[in-house]
Chain A
Amino acid sequence: MYDFLRFVPENLMDLGFKSYIFMLEKPGICGGVVVKAENPDDLRKKLRKVRKNIIVGVTGNEAVCREAVMRRKVDLILDSDNRQLDYATIKLAAEKDVAIELSLAKFIRNKGLSRMQLFERLCDEVRVIKKFDVPFVVTTAAENVYEMRTRRQVENFFSFFGCEIVKARQHATRLVRKYYDTRFIMDGFEIEAELEADVKKKG
């Protein structure tokens, strides 16, 4: 299970995650890049500059998310306070193998009526995600230290709303392995070992 953070903390606590992925606007050593876009045209322009071999997450409004799902470079639709996904976008995400992030931090940040609306949206998203078996990841998406939680807390929170945590774990691992494991090629297809040494001996 991996966690996606939006900042680099000074000293990492052990919160039960296998590892952390830092989603930053300027890509660091280990992590991904966040593309913030105002409109679909802006997104296309910014995606052109992003280099390959890095996890790309997109935040934006409804139209941006819809466009992002169709782009090959995009791996993850990041969560934000005002993210709205429509039915067609989630359905397409399953087809195009784009993961959808469900974050805990936005529920901590908001209170009252706005949080209620977020709950409403979450329930809808979870229902559609279940229906089409869309890849999704559950994360804290913390922007500061006070929004970090343990792995178990995050998982309990989302399983309360009906997420299948086992699948979320698989999707997160797959997403990370896709970029940082040279032995992983695709689902159910990986390299176990290389025989170069043996071949050389024989030669």
Chain B
Amino acid sequence: MRGRVQGVDVIARDWIGLMVEVVESPNEYEIGLKGEVVDETQNTLRIMTEKGLKIVVKKKRTFRVWYGDKIMRIKGDLISYRPEERIKKGLVMLKRAKGVRI
């Protein structure tokens, strides 16, 4: 039975400062990129990896995110909004999804 889940608000906030790893991508060289998000635009994430600054497109990728005390797996299509817009849009998205309580 589902109850209140902590940390689902990760899709309703900006990702700057979070640890991110690319899990799935049409570009196989991107898979495995891991690091801290430095900057974010509507369509891309700038990730500071060990090999330097990498820009990864959000759409059609799946990301693994360390947020709070959880590791989450999120499709990039869900977060492809501008970071400041996403606070509002993400909350609406969570509200509309059935069976989710925030």
Contact = CB atoms under 8 A, between A and B. Distances in A.
Contact of B71 (A72, A187, A189, A195): A195
B75 A187 contact: yes
A191 B72 contact: yes
Interface in B4-35: 5, 7-8, 11
Nearest to A196: B69
Nearest to B74: A189
A195 B87 CA distance: 25
A196 B69 CA distance: 6
B51 interface: no
B9 to A, nearest CB: 11
A195 B70 contact: yes
Contact of B98 (A178, A189, A191, A194): A178
B89 interface: no
A193 B94 CA distance: 20
A94 B62 CA distance: 24
Given A188-B78, A190-B73, A196-B69, A53 B98 contact: no
Interface of A: 53, 72, 75, 97, 178-179, 182, 185-196, 199
Interface of B: 1-2, 5, 7-8, 11, 62, 64, 66, 69-75, 77-78, 93-94, 97-100
Q: Give the top 8 A-B pairs by smallest Cβ distance, nearest first.
A: A188-B75, A186-B97, A192-B71, A178-B99, A193-B71, A53-B1, A195-B69, A192-B73
24 contacts: A53-B2, A178-B98, A178-B99, A179-B99, A182-B2, A182-B5, A185-B8, A186-B78, A186-B93, A186-B100, A187-B78, A188-B78, A189-B11, A189-B73, A189-B78, A190-B72, A190-B73, A191-B5, A191-B7, A191-B72, A192-B70, A192-B71, A192-B73, A195-B69
